[in-house]
Amino acid sequence: MKKIFILGFLTLTATCQSATATLAPESTPIATAQAPTETATAVSTLVPTQTLTPTPAPSFFTEEFDKDPTAWSIIQAGNEATPQVKSDGSFVVFELDSPYAWTYALYGAHDYTDIRIDTSFESRGASPEAIGLVCRYSEKNGWYEFNISTDGSYNVLYGRWKASGIASYTPIVNDTTEYLKPGDTHYELGLTCQKDTLSLYINQKLFRNIDVAKYGLTEGKVGLAISSFENTPVISAFDWVKVSEP
């Protein structure tokens, strides 16, 4: 699959690789010593350098995109077109200019068993799109995905990679709900993965529980999903993402 790592909202493209930032070592100052007198003894004093311990990426947090996000990566399926990712105030904005593209922004620092993920977003494009949440993502075993569409429908999918950049999707649920209004552009979505149940939220309202025991996913990463259909561009702006205990 194709990964694009976000570094300060600039995108770098790699194929099944991780990006590692290397810090250049600090230069060592050259000390100028005076010539010792006959009775003086020159003593060399070593001053230990300060060791900086990186701050561990948190398991539970709220990402408000008011500074450069860390530990997030982007995975593209459907075609080789690269989505545009940029910062707009306190929003992170995804623009898909290619039809039938599936883009995932995954928090790669931790794998979770039981977890909840919420987000607030707005649709800024005129084209139909699907926006959603992902849990228990694994490159080997697959993932669960909860999407809503601008036409007022929603679905739950079991996704798996078939080959590089090619994913297959098994529909678990495809339905409509009174909490989705065609034409509305701003929503809060929530997804809880707890044991064998997925719980779906729209605007903080729990509206459906789904048994997914037969698919057997037990742990994985969480993230966002953005998809385009036949028309483009798709422009999706996320205000915040919250990862918490269920």
Amino acid 48: pLDDT = 44
Residue 24 DSSP class: P
Mean pLDDT by 10 residues, the chain (246 residues): 42 32 34 39 42 72 85 85 85 92 94 98 86 97 95 94 90 95 89 98 97 97 94 93 97
pLDDT computed for residue 55 by the predictor: 66
DSSP state of 25: P
What is residue 164's predicted lDDT score, i.e. its pLDDT? 81
Cis check for the bond before 171: say yes or no (omega within 30 of 0): no
| Residue 27, token pair as written in the block | 């230069």
Q: Within its chain, how far is the Cα of 198 from the centroid?
A: 19
Q: Which tokens hold the place of 36?
A: 């010792």
CA end-to-end span of the chain:
30
How far is it, in rounded angstroms, from Cα 49 to Cα 27?
A: 11
pLDDT at position 53, please? 53
CA 59, 63, 67, 71 dihedral sign is positive
Rounded Cα distance, 154 and 152, in Å: 7
CATH 2.60.120.200 fits 2-14+55-244, yes or no: yes
pTM of the predicted structure, to 2 decimals: 0.78
All structural domains of the chain with their residue ranges: 2-14+55-244
User: How many whole angstroms from its chain centre is CA 192?
Assistant: 16
Distance of alpha carbon 133 from alpha carbon 145, whole angstroms:
6
